[in-house]
Structure 1
Amino acid sequence: MSRARAAVGMAAAMIILGACSSPGGGSASASGSGGGGGNCVVGVSWNNFQQPRWGATDKPKMKQTIEAGGGTFIDADANLDNQRQLSDVDSLIQRGAKVLVLLAQDNKAILPALQKAKDAGIPVIAYDRLIEDTSGSVLYITFDNVGVGKAEAEAILQKVPKGHYVLMKGDPGDANASTFLPSGWDQAGLKDKIASGDIQIVGPKEGQFTPGWDTQKAQNEMEAIIDAANASNTKIDAVLAENDSTALGVAQALESKNYGFPPVSGQDGDPANLNNLALGKQYVDVWKNSNQLGIAAGQAALQLCQGKKINEVSINVDPSVAPAAGNSPTDFKTPGGNTVKSLILKPTPLTADQLGKVFAAGWYASKDQICKGVDSSSPGAAACK
């Protein structure tokens, strides 16, 4: 962690701690006014830890923030299983959770758990994945996923304005994969370029979904698309992959087929993908500094635990990711036509020459990891000096 980032995190923690020790009301700060000390139990249901970021950044920063504010952090891993996640939420409630943070495996399958939380009077934070809510009892904390998709497509379209594209999407049960990221692609001009004929889609026209955002499945899907393209004498010019786990599968497929590396997008800042960025196996990675997302969720959970209403929550995160709409929740219109209160953080698109931003931020992927195998001819050579 950089000194600047450490200072921001320490300042936020001290504000929370100070407020916890002054129940009569310390100053109203961006990080909130405490979490009820030891009575604040925050239960977190993760849908998986297969994607590296959840265990490497989101969980430790959320836990650190909650515990620094005097709260107790408990969690469970559903391992990509909808029924297990419902059981996990039951268990977290039984263990005394006063606030629930849910990273939903499926935004419909999770609804019975949401209902149980409502019945028990437990506020819910939908963490990085939308849960359709009609009651106003959910706070949605995420990055600007439409903006992520837009940044991915802008970078790839600028690099390859015409040609044959593969669209590699994530899990169909995740609104990020089915709605928000593709909406960003279209805002960047993909839909218009398809309509004009400048871009032709190779593989499924609406994109290839990847259950569980699984890397091996993405590799298998991409290998099948490459085989079909080769059979029809079609050259793949670019790949819009929605996230890093699917982009990694794409890169592995390209390598296994000795295809070369057309520009590929991704998001999250996973170590293997940042290394691929430096090596030229991935062109753009939209970095979501999930350290800050975990901090934001921890701050919000402490305030909800204390009894603040959702619209009274306020966060204090690094200015580089601070929500464009401000540090308090704003209305977000969902694909289902509902309105939920949201805190939407800003992402950062990176190409190989911008990897220094990651190094400066003290990301969990070390410079040695990111620069492994880089030589003077690699796109990341300058950043890796």
Structure 2
Amino acid sequence: MYNRRTFMLGATATAAALGLAACGGEGAGSGGPDTDAAPSEQTVGVAMPTQTYERWVADGDNIKKGLEEKGFTVDMQYAGDDIPTQQQQIDQMINSGVSALLIASIDGASLSSQLDAAAAVGIPVIAYDRLLTDSENVDFYVTFDNYTVGVNQANALLFGLGLLDESFEPSPDAPEGPLNVELFAGSLDDNNAHLFWQGAIDTLQPFFDDGTLEVPSGQMDIDQAATQRWEQETAQKRMETLLTTHYAGGKEIDGVLAPADPLSRGILNALQNAGRGDTIEDGLPIVTGQDAEIASIKLIADGVQHSTIFKDTRNLAEQAIISTESILTGEEPEANDTETYDNGVKVVPSYLLEVQMVLQSNYEEILVETGYYTEEQVEAGQL
């Protein structure tokens, strides 16, 4: 489902530069949209997975606002993380005659019949952030460099453990180890979870191989580490079980690879409740994250959560709008990756955006100074 790439990144690490290339091939819908129609005559169906995660609300708001500013009508539906609901919503959009579909799936492999139906009536499909798999009827994909997200998460963990220095090179003052860590992954039905995991494991593997890092639970396969639906409560319960089973008697746990902020907060709750420290300064293990959710940014500012990965959804929404507009005007959307994202049937032309590692030392520069959050929001831990 991906090509492996290995590279080290700095604290504001960005995705590797990729040569721009036009995406080739015919669109999924052979009939195609009416490219002569004015935006005011076209409706874009936007299928979002859930409103539970802060970032999906921001994504939806940004997409809707941007498309409407271009003159399009937007039919946006949130599915409450329920696959049948999302299937029904997309069916309704197709039946209503939308001009294009922009889909952030719950399960990328669950929409084949909907994609077939869209193709049959010439509705182009853009996968948003999560790859739509096992179907040829996917025209384009806009996302972040998800393998790089995993690399950054692993580097953040290694940095927090003192194994890498501020330049993300091997630290001359690195502890000898072994250091004890545990690994968490996302939901297996989300293709991105596999990319995050692979980027992280490729980066951590040399440290496992030389004995610097150990996983006392032995749970080092993605199936063992997975967190269904990315649920905070599930992550917290698993962390509680790991502590009870493998860290009894005060055995040290030094760090946790966590792939998303809600999981990070669940893990931190379990660690704090077990008396493993209140902050990193007083012994709380290093815990990573992703999505730069406001609650986790406050934890980073307060020295509780070590890091997160910022994926600027403003930029992702903007690129999705650009790509949608290109398709609806008969142009090929610009791709900067035409090799990596094999969905099991075809390699989907993609546009990958940059990511940034957020630490206590740089969260203000990355998030406050750019206007993503205000200082007051960070202090309160809520929008």
On whether the aligned pair clears a TM of 0.5, the verdict is yes
1:362 and 2:382 correspond: no
Percent of pairs with identical residues: 27
Partner of 1:175: 191
Q: Which range moved further: 346-355 or 248-257?
A: 248-257
The 3 A distance-change label for structure 1 pair 202 and 121 is farther
Q: Is the 8 A contact 1:34 1:306 kept in 2?
A: yes
Separation in 1 of the partners of 2:368 and 2:343?
Answer: 36
Q: Secondary structure at the match of 1:339?
A: coil
Q: 1:39-60: per-residue Cα shift (whole Å, max 9, x none)? A: 22110111111110111x2112
What is the RMSD computed on CA atoms of the aligned residues?
2.1
1:344 and 2:352 correspond: yes
Q: What amino acid is the match of 2:248? A: A
Partner of 1:272: 295
Partner of 2:208: 194
Q: What amino acid is the match of 1:237? A: D
Separation in 1 of the partners of 2:211 and 2:148?
Answer: 25
Separation in 2 of the partners of 1:152 and 1:243?
Answer: 10
Unaligned runs of 5+ in 2: 1-34, 164-176, 278-283
Q: What amino acid is the match of 1:286? A: I
Offset, 1:134 = 5.1
Q: How does 1:1-385 map to 2 (within 5 A)?
A: 36-55=38-57, 57-132=58-133, 135=136, 137-160=138-161, 161=163, 162=177, 163-177=179-193, 179-188=194-203, 190-203=204-217, 204-206=219-221, 207-231=224-248, 234-260=251-277, 261-308=284-331, 312-314=332-334, 330-334=338-342, 336=344, 338-356=346-364, 357-363=366-372, 365-372=373-380
The 3 A distance-change label for structure 1 pair 277 and 158 is same
Q: What amino acid is the match of 2:356? A: T
TM-score, reference length from structure 2: 0.79
Offset, 1:93 = 1.4
Separation in 2 of the partners of 1:165 and 1:328?
Answer: 35
Q: Is the 8 A contact 1:35 1:303 kept in 2?
A: no
Runs of 4+ in 1 over 4 A off after TM superposition: none
TM-score, reference length from structure 1: 0.79
Q: 1:232-276: per-residue Cα shift (whole Å, max 9, x none)? A: 653211010011121111112122222122111111110011111
Higher RCO (CA < 8 A, seq sep 6+): 2
What is the count of residue pairs matched by the alignment? Answer: 322
Offset, 1:183 = 1.6
Q: Is the 8 A contact 2:143 2:351 kept in 1?
A: yes
Q: Secondary structure at the match of 1:266?
A: coil
Q: 1:259-311: per-residue Cα shift (whole Å, max 9, x none)? A: 12211111111001111111111111111111111111122112222233xxx
Separation in 2 of the partners of 1:185 and 1:99?
Answer: 35
The 3 A distance-change label for structure 1 pair 66 and 83 is same
Q: Is the 8 A contact 2:136 2:345 kept in 1?
A: no
Q: What amino acid is the match of 2:60? A: K
Unaligned runs of 5+ in 1: 1-32, 315-326, 374-385
Separation in 2 of the partners of 1:128 and 1:288?
Answer: 10
Separation in 2 of the partners of 1:299 and 1:194?
Answer: 43
Offset, 1:75 = 1.1
Separation in 2 of the partners of 1:153 and 1:244?
Answer: 15
